Amino acid sequence: MDKLKKVLGGQDDGNADGSGILERVNQASTLGCGTRMKGFAVCFCLGAFCSILGTCLLWIPGFGLAVFAVLYTVGNIFSLASTMFLTGPCRQLRTMCAKERALATIIMLVCLALTLCAAFWWKNNGLALLFCVLQFLAFTWYGLSYIPFARDAVIKLCTICV
């Protein structure tokens, strides 16, 4: 029973087949609970700050829309990265690619890239704004997948309203 508690708690000393080295390296590189919470809070606050700052700068004539698109995208990247502190990068990537959220993840990541392309490469502010809206919708749909029955409730609400 103690062996099971150590394995589940991440405190296993390894075993004789050589996989103990990898486990020890993984343990040495993992963050403590307090550090994870601090990393999450800092990353999430940076994401919120970038998104809010981008929204405030949206109304600057001339270059405000491009700055908004870039800051909003960077804010979403920070917000997405903040959850990696809580679950770990490998587990986060596995859950992002799970069957129920794979489409939302793909759309969200493609819109993140296309927003930056529209802002910097194509210099098309209208397209950048469209991709920001699509980013928001995909990120919302992605986030709703973590709440049981939330997507079903949104779909039902939309069918009632139509």
3-state secondary structure of 14: coil
Instruction: Enter the tokens of residue 138.
Output: 């995909």
Q: Is residue 6 part of a domain?
A: no
The DSSP element (H or E) to which 122 belongs, if any, is: none
Q: What is the DSSP string of 32-43?
A: PHHHHHHHHHHH
Whether 47 and 76 have beta carbons less than 8 Å apart is answered as: yes
Q: Is residue 104 part of a domain?
A: yes
Q: Is residue 90 part of a domain?
A: yes
Q: Is residue 44 part of a domain?
A: yes
pLDDT band at residue 31 under the 50/70/90 scheme? confident
Q: Is residue 7 part of a domain?
A: no
User: In percent, how much of the chain has pLDDT > 70?
Assistant: 82
Angle in degrees, 0-180, between the axes of helices 102-116 and 125-144, rounded to the nearest 10: 160
Q: Is residue 81 part of a domain?
A: yes
Number of structural domains, the chain?
Answer: 1
pTM: 0.75
Instruction: Enter the tokens of residue 59.
Output: 């109304």
At 77-136, the pLDDT tens digits run: 999 999 888 888 888 999 999 999 999 999 999 999 999 999 889 989 889 999 999 999
Q: Is residue 38 part of a domain?
A: yes
Instruction: Enter the tokens of residue 154.
Output: 């949104």
Q: Is residue 107 part of a domain?
A: yes
Q: What is the separation of C-alpha 81 from the centre of its chain, rounded to a whole number of angstroms?
A: 5
- In this structure, the number of other CB atoms found within 10 A of the CB of residue 30 comes to 11
Place of tokens 């508690």: 5
At 47-65, the pLDDT tens digits run: 999 999 999 998 888 888 8
| Average pLDDT of the residues of the chain | 85
Q: What domain range is 143 assigned to?
A: 32-161
